[in-house]
Homo-oligomer: A and B are copies of this chain.
């Protein structure tokens, strides 16, 4: 069965069996059944317990098979050892969706992992979907039902939340009840044996009750599927992720620049950026954003008007706007004239509009209304400090009224204070106005509304360009390397593969004697470069394994011998295939283009300033392959070298199109050949516009 259809049963079950239901307080099977009954689920509930009888006032069945009617969804809260047979029984019974709360699977080791495999087999065999195992359950506040052992049921709202940590969910649920934050769906992902984050993202995307998607994840099961699901959903609603595990260094063996420069968390960050997911660093700020999304229309731009009764907080807000990418709106001359006429002369009628410490509710009203009507304003932020003449509650009321009159622009309040703001806060919240203590969080929330509009618009359907190449030819070279029991390609092999993909490279030939080197040099044309050809030597220049600018046969001969001496001195046991003779590329702007491979997300392409100091300058950026033209172009322009390439201080611009083309070809290469685990072009020389690019040194490593 289609997983999404399965999730429909999970979200809107017509009947639910609680397998492991119990009369005994403190048992999970009791908590789950009680939550289900108390949450108001008004279709059929079937407690299942080998002892039968009655549980919490409902007839209990000895087994699922014994239930006389169709069962849509099953919740399993029995010891792990009994789970598999019960799942099979559910399959036979025609249950469409299972929530396995029971722990003791993957998290306990090999045996549990095997059991999970069996679960997936059964899910597929019987066309069911399975959530969990080892999870808290699921809550839908719209049906409504609470099929979990949570303490309490969340308020109804528009946030769809899925979490890989059940314990974190319990904390957030408890906190949300106090903070009065509502949810549409509340899903504990558990071990993600069958259904995972990507399935729920897609389902949340289709769910009319959800307008905001929030995930807590520690990892994703399938990077590509995750990105696909997000790309599909984000044009309709925003996705925010809290992803932990930033600091757990990956155990990857990194020999390439690209590998060592990409931290373990880089691929996640890049994936989020590339598919439009916003990453939050902070739980509390995230819910601020959610509350603003819940209440407000999206702004049509980033221009904010600030209305205040005090200068200091106005400046703080202005600062926060600048940091967050928001603009302080330039008010129209009509607005300014109107404010001049209606505010005291000492007031500031420019933005921030300072109605002075004496500002009364009617002053606030006219400033806010004027701002909301102004075509130069996209959203309005109202600041209030509790001064001697301030009427907090009445001001809250006029804000609510203004919002009713002009509901299409975001209107957000910052009431700086505590005890005297308790009632005004209630007025604002009830009136649908997001309210904050301090400006920074309010500004952050507005900025996220705006950034979402930008992301949404940028996620238009874009295609991945493909180049016609002779893939077989590249495959043959790799096959030969494999036969030779090597993982690192020799220079001539790597350059040959790059050539197959249409990447302009410095020509290279392998010489096994100084005589041959001289012949090849003559063939390529002087000057030439000589480089040691050895799979054991990664940083050739560090040990004197490279000689450049050789102009004569004599120099070639001398260099050939010197390189071999150097290598023997530094790496006595290196396996030497000979010395590569390479045409000497005209010097251009030094770039690095590389690729490493992420376990979750696949090929991670790096671009940046090249040369020997790449590790120290770290002027680099990343994208996942395959890429669109926009991805490649952004990848280049995110770096400082990207700015230089555009041509500055009278310099001619570099051939950006050729660089983009090279990046896209590399993307295709590493997407075509999964066995390429690392690739570095360092340097590639970029020339003036129209004169292309040359890959000077190409390194490729294939997987074992």
Decide yes or no: A386 and B171 within 8 Å by CB, A178-B418, A640-B617 being known contacts: yes
Q: Which residues of B contact A282 (CB under 8 A)?
A: 438, 440
Decide yes or no: A165 and B648 within 8 Å by CB, A388-B31, A640-B618 being known contacts: no
Instruction: Type the 1/0 row for A390-424, where 1 means its CB is closer than 8 Å to any CB of B.
Output: 00000000000000000000000000111111100
Decide yes or no: A312 and B168 within 8 Å by CB, A322-B246, A418-B178, A542-B649 being known contacts: yes
Shortest beta-carbon distance from A492 to chain B in Å: 25
Interface centre among A163, A171, A315, A385 (most CB of B within 10 A): A171
Bound form: Cα–Cα A51–B179 in Å: 53
State how many residues of chain A have any CB contact under 8 Å with chain B: 80
Q: Of residues 199 to 222 in A, which have CB atoms within 8 Å of B's CB atoms?
A: 216, 218
A673 near B: Cβ within 8 Å?
no
Decide yes or no: A357 and B388 within 8 Å by CB, A315-B218, A438-B282 being known contacts: no
Q: Which residues of B contact A179 (CB under 8 A)?
A: 418
Shortest beta-carbon distance from A472 to chain B in Å: 39
A242 near B: Cβ within 8 Å?
yes
Interface centre among A177, A418, A617 (most CB of B within 10 A): A418
Q: Which residues of B contact A387 (CB under 8 A)?
A: 167, 170
Bound form: Cα–Cα A171–B437 in Å: 9
Shortest beta-carbon distance from A548 to chain B in Å: 16
Q: Which residues of B contact A440 (CB under 8 A)?
A: 281-284
A164 near B: Cβ within 8 Å?
yes
Q: Which residues of B contact A438 (CB under 8 A)?
A: 282-284
Decide yes or no: A323 and B386 within 8 Å by CB, A167-B313, A167-B357 being known contacts: no
Decide yes or no: A420 and B151 within 8 Å by CB, A281-B440, A648-B613 being known contacts: yes
Instruction: Type the 1/0 row for A308-352, where 1 means its CB is closer than 8 Å to any CB of B.
Output: 011111011011011100001000000000000000001000000
Bound form: Cα–Cα A661–B163 in Å: 56
Bound form: Cα–Cα A166–B390 in Å: 14
A80 near B: Cβ within 8 Å?
no
A121 near B: Cβ within 8 Å?
no
Bound form: Cα–Cα A648–B242 in Å: 37
Q: Of residues 423 to 437 in A, which have CB atoms within 8 Å of B's CB atoms?
A: 437
Instruction: Type the 1/0 row for A158-176, where 1 means its CB is closer than 8 Å to any CB of B.
Output: 0000011111101110111
- Check if A313 sits within 8 Å of B416, measured CB to CB: no
Shortest beta-carbon distance from A172 to chain B in Å: 7
A522 near B: Cβ within 8 Å?
no
- Check if B283 sits within 8 Å of A151, measured CB to CB: no
A247 near B: Cβ within 8 Å?
yes
Interface centre among A149, A218, A316, A328 (most CB of B within 10 A): A316
Q: Which residues of B contact A318 (CB under 8 A)?
A: 244, 247-248
- Check if B418 sits within 8 Å of A165, measured CB to CB: no
Bound form: Cα–Cα A172–B439 in Å: 12
- Check if A171 sits within 8 Å of B388, measured CB to CB: no
Bound form: Cα–Cα A529–B570 in Å: 42
A245 near B: Cβ within 8 Å?
yes
Bound form: Cα–Cα A175–B384 in Å: 13
Q: Which residues of B contact A612 (CB under 8 A)?
A: 649
Bound form: Cα–Cα A189–B695 in Å: 63
- Check if B417 sits within 8 Å of A386, measured CB to CB: no
- Check if A315 sits within 8 Å of B174, measured CB to CB: no
- Check if B322 sits within 8 Å of A164, measured CB to CB: no
A36 near B: Cβ within 8 Å?
no
Q: Which residues of B contact A441 (CB under 8 A)?
A: 284
A643 near B: Cβ within 8 Å?
yes
Bound form: Cα–Cα A420–B173 in Å: 10
Decide yes or no: A174 and B640 within 8 Å by CB, A167-B311, A168-B310, A168-B312 being known contacts: no
Residues on A lying within 8 angstroms of B by beta carbon are: 26, 28, 31, 108, 149, 151-152, 163-168, 170-172, 174-179, 216, 218, 242, 244-248, 281-284, 309-313, 315-316, 318-319, 321-323, 328, 346, 357, 385-388, 416-422, 437-438, 440-441, 539, 541-542, 612-613, 615-619, 640, 643-644, 648-650
Top 4 A-B pairs ranked by shortest CB distance?
Answer: A165-B312, A178-B418, A167-B310, A171-B416
A and B contact pairs by CB, cutoff 8 A, 29 listed? A149-B388, A151-B386, A152-B419, A167-B313, A167-B357, A167-B387, A168-B312, A170-B385, A170-B417, A171-B313, A174-B421, A218-B312, A218-B315, A244-B318, A244-B319, A245-B319, A246-B319, A246-B322, A246-B323, A247-B318, A281-B440, A282-B438, A283-B316, A283-B437, A612-B649, A613-B648, A613-B649, A615-B648, A616-B648
